[in-house]
Amino acid sequence: MTGHPDANRSPLMVALPKGRLAHQTLEMFAAAGLPTPSGDNGRKLIMESAGGAMHYVMAKPADVPTFVEYGAADLGVCGLDTLRESQRHVYEPLLLPFGFCRLCLAAPADRPDTPLRYESQPRVATKYPNLTAEFFRARGVNAEIIALNGSVELGPLVGLAHLIVDVVETGNTLRANGLVETRTILEIQAVLIVNRAAYHLKRAAIEQVIDRLRTHLAAQPT
């Protein structure tokens, strides 16, 4: 943001989810002409662009909305799944064209119809306890939610759960573990999020980021 009045004052702090989404975000920011760090920053958790106008905080994906809601970062990028599960209050000015997948309810392939017909309480394993509870509550089903941190597909295989709620991209992981999708709970893609106070206090700088991204995305072939 050469020549921007705020460039020499406080840098814009951007929280990114370590991993593929962070790489895709930095590629998109660079292609949109926004300042990004040069070269490989190894294990550094905060990376500065040349000139220091933007700082990038590398966070665990689920923590990105927390950093942004508390103002530790002005901006962030995360998946809609992470954002909705976090229940954090932030602005969401721009959906981004990557990170496409879906949050699904899945059941064992030999019992695909059971999910919403349980007379007794179904046990549901998931990394998304809030979204899962909301889904069943809205349907009047009294589900027992079992929160896991990974390999949720194991749940039905080892008798821990009847059903799972998890992120699906190709469906290969479900198929490989004898599960089928029975409902889509949320269509997911990456989203730019903004701290609500920063949006007003650093409005010019933040709007410049959003405008550059919008212009860049509008010029992309669909």
CB of 151 vs ligand AMP, minimal distance in Å = 8
| Residues of span 157-196 touching ligand AMP by CB under 6 A | 166-173
Long-range CB contact pairs, 18-25, < 8 A, 24+: 18/58, 18/59, 18/60, 18/61, 19/61, 21/61, 21/77, 21/78, 21/79, 21/98, 21/99, 21/190, 22/58, 22/77, 24/98, 24/99, 24/190, 25/77, 25/96, 25/190
> Helices (DSSP H) in the chain: which residue ranges?
20-31, 64-69, 80-86, 129-138, 154-157, 172-176, 196-201, 203-218
Q: Does 101 bind ligand AMP (CB under 6 A)?
A: yes
CB of 172 vs ligand AMP, minimal distance in Å = 4
Question: Which CB atom, from 146 or from 168, has the smaller least distance to ligand AMP?
Answer: 168
For residue 169, the 8-state DSSP code is S
Please select the residue that binds ligand AMP; options are 35, 37, 79, 156, rule is CB under 6 A: 79
Question: Which CB atom, from 21 or from 143, has the smaller least distance to ligand AMP?
Answer: 21
CB of 171 vs ligand AMP, minimal distance in Å = 5
Question: Which CB atom, from 53 or from 164, has the smaller least distance to ligand AMP?
Answer: 164
Question: Which CB atom, from 15 or from 198, has the smaller least distance to ligand AMP?
Answer: 15
Write out the residues near ligand AMP by the rule CB under 6 A: 79, 99, 101, 166-173
